Amino acid sequence: MSQLYDRTADAVRWLYDHRISAPPILNESLYFPQAVDFQRMWESIRDEALSVARTLSSVPRFHELMEEQAPISANDGHDWRVFVLRAYGVDIRENAARCPVTAALVGACPNVLSASFSFLAPGKHIPPHRGPFRGVVRCHLGLCMPRGDDGRVGAILWIDGKEHRLGDGDYLVWDDTYTHEVHNRTSWLRIALLLDIWRHGMPPDMSALSRMIVGLVRLGMLVRGSPFAL
């Protein structure tokens, strides 16, 4: 299954790479102007994420949601757990009910395709990888971004070889089809809100293909049953 996923992802990436050109770091005012609304409420969002973290052992690891992600989720014995509020346009109502502020912000943004809290255990390293799908872009909002012994943010995100150290309440809008990795080089849990947003300004054929791909994923969720609710 993993080999089939990798080959399919490579083919999809090749097609999008040849039709859509964009830098790794994107202009949020163009691609996701609502980012400032999430930043304005980041402390309330953080409090909801911390509430979820009190029962962190019940939050699934990423590869338990998508077994194809085991090479980057189950690679080093440290947990990467993901609490999903919206997946491919489908709201996970049980989870959203636990986080009303975050869910309301997501609900006000029909361009947000997926939304989740990402919990990286101390020492967790997500190795270099690429997202498969340039039909969406990502917004990353720091909620609990721990600092190392040197006082600097110690949970580091590299995108296309460039280091990014986002602090609490900082956000970044970027294209996750560029090679990226994350390393939590601290002794503390790192928490972020991850949002996947429909890409602005796609050519009509790429927009149609993107919606077809998401529709197929939704159909698969319906057939298999959603794995995202606790």
- Looking at residue 218, what is its pLDDT? 81
Using CA atoms, how far residue 107 sits from 46, 110, 194, in Å, is 17, 7, 15
How far apart, in Å, do the first and last CA atoms of the chain sit?
A: 24
**What is the reported pLDDT for 1?**
47
Write out the H or E segment, with its range, that includes residue 64.
helix 62-65
38: CB partners within 8 A, 6+ apart: 45, 105, 139, 141, 171, 193, 195
How far is residue 212's CA from residue 67's CA, in Å, rounded to a whole number? 22
pTM higher than 0.85: yes
Q: For the residues of 103-132, what is the DSSP string, one character each?
A: HHHHHT-TTEEEEEEEEE-TT-EEEEE--S
Q: What tokens does 6 get?
A: 């990798």
Distance, in Å, from the CA atom of 149 to the CA atom of 221, rounded to the nearest integer, reads 43
Q: pLDDT band at residue 194, thresholds of 50, 70 and 90? A: very high
Stretch 46-58: mean pLDDT, rounded?
Answer: 97
DSSP 226: -
Number of C-beta neighbours around residue 44 at 10 A: 14
| Residue 147 scores a pLDDT above 50 | yes
CA distance 220 to 121: 30
Write down the pLDDT at residue 18. Answer: 85
Amino acid at 70: A
Question: Residue 166: pLDDT band by 50, 70, 90 thresholds?
Answer: very high
Backbone angles phi, psi at 42, to 5 degrees: -60, -35
Q: Give residue-wise pLDDT tens across range 54-104.
A: 999 999 999 998 888 899 999 999 999 999 999 999 999 999 999 999 999
| DSSP secondary structure string for all residues of 132-168 | S-TTEEEEEEEEE--B-TTSSB-EEEEETTEEE---T
CA nearest neighbour of 229 among 60, 48, 54:
60
- Which pLDDT score is estimated for 28? 95
The residue type at 128:
P
What CATH number does the domain located at 2-224 have?
Answer: 2.60.120.330
Instruction: Indicate the domain borders of the chain.
Output: 2-224
Lowest mean pLDDT among 5-14, 117-126, 161-170, 220-229: 220-229
220 pLDDT exceeds 70? Answer: yes
**Alpha-carbon span 24 to 174, nearest angstrom:** 6
CA atoms within 13 A on the CB side of 215: 6
Given a cut of 80, whether residue 226 has pLDDT beyond it is no
